[in-house]
Structure 1
């Protein structure tokens, strides 16, 4: 079995270096980007799988049309170049809606169209790649999903398989389908040296896991969760914020174009004029909602709101963005969040592969856009997270394929490859 792994392509974002629009002003005529040839050479050909670890399409800053048009150009090109037979897609935060669309299609739309009852969402479907040398052939499965003999590796047939097709004026289509298997939020790779956890990495950041952390702390008993939450429970609880910040914020028309995106840019550049103006408007609305019978009530309320305003501004100015942040993986709250997430992952892997005696000893993720090369486990200086039980999990970060907010700087990306015959991982830096 051969595979290549990348993350954070952000198709639709004008700063994407793998595929973008030729005409950025009109967001039209998608073309292959300046770093594609380096990616092609690093990934190689005739892989069984290309694993894409999230933030592949970017629905939080681009329209669906823009994201899917650019993605089509990329996936048609890798098809033409023979990069991989099939795609394993593990969505992240900017493309969480790919997972939601899959859930709607499989559990609601198809079933209602066939006269059947809708199913509840699955929320979590872990994938397992068995790359151990003793394993015959290519072994891949989605836990709880029955494979089909209609597809080379057992999975396909959902809407995204057709992303490589292009309709013609006579309503026919050109191109061939490309099979996708969707796993969320984790993919496990079993090797002779132990198992590897592959995930996008957004659950290591406070925003994307905050609702779950707060809910478990405040109302864990009421929800019936008193121990380690399952991965499914984590996905379920964090669903509202994840959907809000994905398509909820990215598909809001003038609110997205003229308010949300400018606010994001201002926050990155520490320009708080617009932020202060909007915050003053919000606090003024809050002030009107607070009843006050006496002058002293108004004085106290105004003082509290001024204090709140000051604290919010101070907090915004102190926030370090996760993207392009070299310090992110070293921050204490990230280290603690990894320990909690890792415990849930270990329980998930034990459930789906009960014969395994060891927990994952390697982690591959993206999200931060700061690449960290794959290094031999145990090598002095190799980056690692502590599990809190005396063990370490060495990690590799795949970086990202965006230039730095329109600047000339490109922080780099990693293309990770694995061959089950040799049991060798290779990581190639693209700069």
Structure 2
């Protein structure tokens, strides 16, 4: 059964613990808190929904990640009329999901003297409503004390419309290489086939001490090079019909194709689950660090609104939050 709510605020790609996280600046964190507080004054916010890459376990240490996370949630947790935090892990914090499902389905079961099930259920679960989870410690002593985690999708009905929330990494072929070998027949298989790749590259290797430092240095050099090249192209090709415009156009078309493929697969996978995907529907994601609002995509004859919540990492111009309230049109806002 799809949960019905009246008001959600969605953000993504905070990258807590990483040096370019915008919330490292206390002024930006304070301004964000002020905006969400103001939203809550004009009608209770049922959920602050964080669409993945909240924790940067790929580029930062546990100490840095959870110190910054504690700071972030101790601030946000003071907001009146904010009822819950809901988190969908992405590729940079996928390991959080691994920890949760193993605790709930393996180690926690063994701790109780029982035998675990032969198969690990990897998807369409939500933890934190009934059971205690370790992330709730980040809100200790706060007014907001409800912290839920689900993966890889969350569905909510708001104002008579279905909203489909997802981080966005499973749209991206670089995160699903096993699909080339064997096409998944279900969401469970999609995750089972590719989770070891996501865990290995975006968690285990970069946490491997000196090897991890080498990989991080290479990543930083690569992203720095990309930034320089983007600046160069922007300087010498400033119109949309130039190289930069054409490259961006190719990226957008590729992304549309990836979204369509994922949504088509999900429509097929969920058809055995009544009332899961239905019209009218909007799809909300992050991952790309490029905000967008309300473009319509035709998927199997169904018109779906597409929203991207941007990122709170690097460029302040990309920082935004999506307000979804009742029957109003979703609104992408900035500080």
Q: Which residue of 2 aligns with 1:413?
A: 319
Q: Which residue of 1 aligns with 2:99?
A: 101
Q: Which residue of 2 aligns with 1:215?
A: 181
Q: Which residue of 2 aligns with 1:158?
A: 133
Residue aligned with 1:198, SS: strand
Q: Deviations over 1:373-394 (max 9, x none)?
A: 3x4xxxxxxx23342x344422
**Residues 10-409 of structure 1 aligned to structure 2 (within 5 Å):** 10-18=15-23, 20=24, 32-42=26-36, 44-45=39-40, 46-82=44-80, 84-119=82-117, 120-125=119-124, 142=126, 154-165=129-140, 178-212=145-179, 214-216=180-182, 220=183, 229-257=185-213, 259-270=214-225, 327=249, 330-332=252-254, 334-352=255-273, 354-355=274-275, 358-359=278-279, 361-373=281-293, 375=294, 383-387=295-299, 389-404=300-315
Task: Report the TM-score, using the length of structure 1 for normalisation.
Answer: 0.64
Unpaired segments ≥5 residues, structure 2:
1-5, 227-246
* Post-superposition offset of 1:107: 1.0
Give the structure, 1 or 2, with the largest relative contact order (CA under 8 Å, sep 6 or more). 2
* Post-superposition offset of 1:250: 2.6
* Post-superposition offset of 1:177: 7.7
C-alpha distance in 2 between matches for 1:33 and 1:348: 44
Count of residue pairs brought into register by the alignment:
305
Q: Closer, same or farther in 2 for the Cα pair 1:11/1:33, shift >3 Å?
A: farther
Q: Which residue of 1 aligns with 2:14?
A: 9
* Post-superposition offset of 1:357: 7.7
Q: Deviations over 1:26-71 (max 9, x none)?
A: xxxxx74524413541462242211111000010001112111111
Q: Which has the higher helix share?
A: 2
Tell me, yes or no, if the aligned pair for 1:163 and 1:177 is still in contact at 8 Å: no
Task: Report the TM-score, using the length of structure 2 for normalisation.
Answer: 0.81
Greater C-alpha Rg: 1
C-alpha distance in 2 between matches for 1:414 and 1:156: 32
Residue aligned with 1:331, SS: helix
Residue aligned with 1:395, SS: strand
Q: Which residue of 2 aligns with 1:299?
A: none
Q: Closer, same or farther in 2 for the Cα pair 1:357/1:255, shift >3 Å?
A: closer
What is the RMSD computed on CA atoms of the aligned residues? 2.7
C-alpha distance in 1 between matches for 2:131 and 2:12: 21
Tell me, yes or no, if the aligned pair for 1:125 and 1:184 is still in contact at 8 Å: yes
Q: Mean Cα displacement is larger for which, 244-253 or 356-365?
A: 356-365
* Post-superposition offset of 1:425: 4.2
Tell me, yes or no, if the aligned pair for 2:80 and 2:143 is still in contact at 8 Å: no
Residue aligned with 2:46, SS: strand
Residue aligned with 2:123, SS: coil
* Post-superposition offset of 1:90: 0.7
